[in-house]
């Protein structure tokens, strides 16, 4: 390592040049029918017994492995965590995932109740302050309108006159005739008879039935 970066690189280049020449001789021996030393030959190991690292056929020996930019070539990047399948993801989804069990811990619900009381108290206090301010200015307090009251509608001839002293809630009055339950049943029976006559009676019988109804005034 004390030889310096440039000297180390020159020596490493010289070693790789000799290795390429050795590879050419091994290939020539194989052509002449000799053994394949590239396949059966011993692997090149460093002083630690590890295989000599290389990149695209170029090997690095000794201090050359620690040169700037060389170590990064052989540092393996950590593998990304394996992605879970849809089935594995669905295993972790339950009622708690959707927040249905948030109140089971006994902590969230009391906090919500306390916050609700605080908000209601603030709203009531604000309403009281606004009411007192209106009274201090001499403004009359407006009567709250009852949205559930049903007022009787007057005819066009009488006109829309305000009724004083009467209760604000009036009984609902229908302005169209409403048939009784008995009248509805009679109408259904007549309709059913007509459907049966149209289905089973002949045209002559129908004509006679209509004529009889006309004579009887039905």
* pLDDT tens track for 34-71: 888 878 877 776 665 566 666 567 888 888 878 887 77
Three-class SS state of 54: strand
Note whether 15 and 59 are within 8 A (CB): yes
CA distances from 23 to 18, 19, 37, 43 (A): 9, 6, 9, 13
Mean pLDDT, rounded, for 139-147: 58
CA distances from 143 to 38, 97, 127, 151 (A): 105, 49, 15, 17
Mean pLDDT, rounded, for 113-140: 87
Work out whether the CA dihedral 182, 188, 194, 200 comes out positive or negative.
negative
In this predicted structure, what is the pLDDT of residue 31?
A: 92
In this predicted structure, what is the pLDDT of residue 174?
A: 56
Note whether 95 and 46 are within 8 A (CB): no
Question: Which stretches of the chain are assigned E, i.e. beta strand?
Answer: 54-55, 58-59
Using CA atoms, how far apart are residues 25 and 16, in angstroms rounded to an integer?
14
Question: Which stretches of 85-153 are assigned E, i.e. beta strand?
Answer: none
53 compared with 190, residue with greater pLDDT: 190
42 compared with 146, residue with greater pLDDT: 42
Q: Read off the tokens for 204.
A: 């002559």
Domain boundaries, the chain: 5-74, 181-216
Three-class SS state of 29: helix
104 compared with 170, residue with greater pLDDT: 104
- The answer, yes or no, to whether residue 129 has pLDDT greater than 80, is yes
In this predicted structure, what is the pLDDT of residue 168?
A: 47
Using CA atoms, how far apart are residues 212 and 109, in angstroms rounded to an integer?
78
- The answer, yes or no, to whether residue 1 has pLDDT greater than 60, is yes
Nearest to 146 by CA among 172, 174, 170: 170
- The answer, yes or no, to whether residue 155 has pLDDT greater than 50, is no
Nearest to 59 by CA among 48, 49, 73: 73
Q: Which among 11-20, 81-90, 128-137, 147-156 has the top mean pLDDT?
A: 11-20
């Amino acid at each position: 390592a004390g030889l310096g970066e440039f000297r180390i690189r020159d020596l490493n280049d010289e070693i790789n040049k000799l290795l390429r020449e050795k590879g050419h001789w091994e290939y020539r021996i194989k052509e002449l029918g000799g053994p394949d030393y590239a396949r059966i030959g011993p692997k090149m190991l460093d002083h630690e017994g590890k295989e000599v690292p290389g990149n695209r056929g170029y090997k690095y020996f000794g201090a050359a492995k620690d040169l700037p930019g060389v170590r990064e070539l052989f540092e393996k990047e950590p593998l990304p965590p394996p992605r879970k399948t849809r089935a594995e993801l669905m295993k972790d989804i339950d009622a708690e995932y959707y927040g249905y069990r948030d109140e089971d811990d006994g902590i969230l619900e009391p906090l919500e109740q306390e916050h609700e009381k605080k908000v209601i108290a603030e709203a009531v206090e604000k309403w009281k302050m606004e009411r007192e301010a209106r009274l201090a200015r001499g403004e009359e307090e407006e009567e709250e309108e009852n949205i559930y009251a049903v007022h009787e509608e007057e005819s066009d001839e009488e006109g829309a006159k305000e009724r004083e002293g009467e209760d604000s809630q009036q009984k609902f009055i229908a302005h169209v005739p409403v048939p009784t339950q008995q009248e509805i049943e009679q109408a259904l029976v007549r309709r059913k008879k007509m459907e049966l006559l149209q289905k089973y009676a002949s045209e002559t019988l129908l004509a006679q039935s209509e004529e009889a109804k006309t004579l009887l005034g039905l």
